[in-house]
């Protein structure tokens, strides 16, 4: 018997198979379009990270009496963009791998710009606002990937191989 099929009454050919075990079929190959879409997610993540390295520095400063209040609108805009585009990539592709690749591209680009270049330049310096952007982006991006995908009435394609009771 092919174990990539559904066994709804138990499978007598396999001793450790309990009754009503459902084995989800596995697809081992990606189509060319699917691979190009995943590559596009990686490139889009690199682009968001590159843009974010420079936009995150923008802020609005309000003097309030003797205090100065700075609102880092650039960092907030880039983090919102990262979360929304990651969720859209996961939903469109129907798998979390797309969001993971997008987030990985953002992380590689962002950390690359946080390193000192050979001439001593930094795009993302070591201040509290910049570290808030990097750490906040890491937390929000990871959370956006692992939020549940909407149910479509079938098993999540991103979790192939799971067994359901």
Which mean pLDDT values do the consecutive 10-residue runs of the chain (165 residues) have? 49 53 58 87 95 90 90 93 95 90 95 80 77 92 89 52 41
105 close to 49: Cβ distance less than 8 angstroms: yes
State pTM to two decimals. Answer: 0.70
85 close to 98: Cβ distance less than 8 angstroms: no
CA distances for 57 relative to 98, 116, 142, angstroms: 28, 16, 22
**Domain coordinates in residue numbering, the chain:** 1-30, 31-154
Distance CA 19, CA 104 (A): 41
What per-residue confidence (pLDDT) applies to 33? 82
What per-residue confidence (pLDDT) applies to 130? 85
**Helix ranges, 56-161 (H):** 73-93, 96-114, 128-146
What per-residue confidence (pLDDT) applies to 83? 96
Distance CA 152, CA 135 (A): 33
Q: How is residue 99 written in tokens? A: 């969001």
What per-residue confidence (pLDDT) applies to 126? 76
Burial of 16-55, coded b for 16+ CB within 10 Å and e otherwise, reads: eeeeebebbeeeeeeeeebeebbeebbebbbebbbbbbeb
Distance CA 152, CA 131 (A): 38
Residue 24 backbone phi and psi in degrees, to 5 = -80, 135
């Amino acid at each position: 018997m092919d174990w990539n099929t559904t066994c709804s009454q138990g499978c007598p050919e396999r001793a450790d198979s309990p009754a009503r075990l459902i084995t989800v079929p596995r697809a081992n190959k990606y189509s060319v379009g699917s691979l190009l879409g995943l590559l596009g997610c990686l490139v889009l993540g690199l682009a968001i990270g590159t843009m974010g390295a420079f936009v995150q520095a923008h802020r609005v400063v309000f003097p309030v009496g003797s205090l100065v209040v700075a609102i880092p609108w650039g960092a907030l805009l880039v983090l919102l963009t990262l979360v929304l585009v990651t969720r859209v990539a996961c939903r469109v592709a129907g798998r979390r791998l797309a969001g993971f690749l997008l987030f990985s591209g953002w992380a590689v680009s962002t950390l690359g710009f946080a390193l000192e270049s050979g001439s001593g330049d930094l795009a993302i310096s070591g201040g509290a606002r910049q570290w808030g952007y990097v750490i906040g982006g890491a937390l929000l991006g990871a959370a956006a990937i692992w939020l549940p995908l909407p149910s479509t009435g079938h098993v999540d394609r991103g979790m192939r191989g799971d067994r359901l009771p």
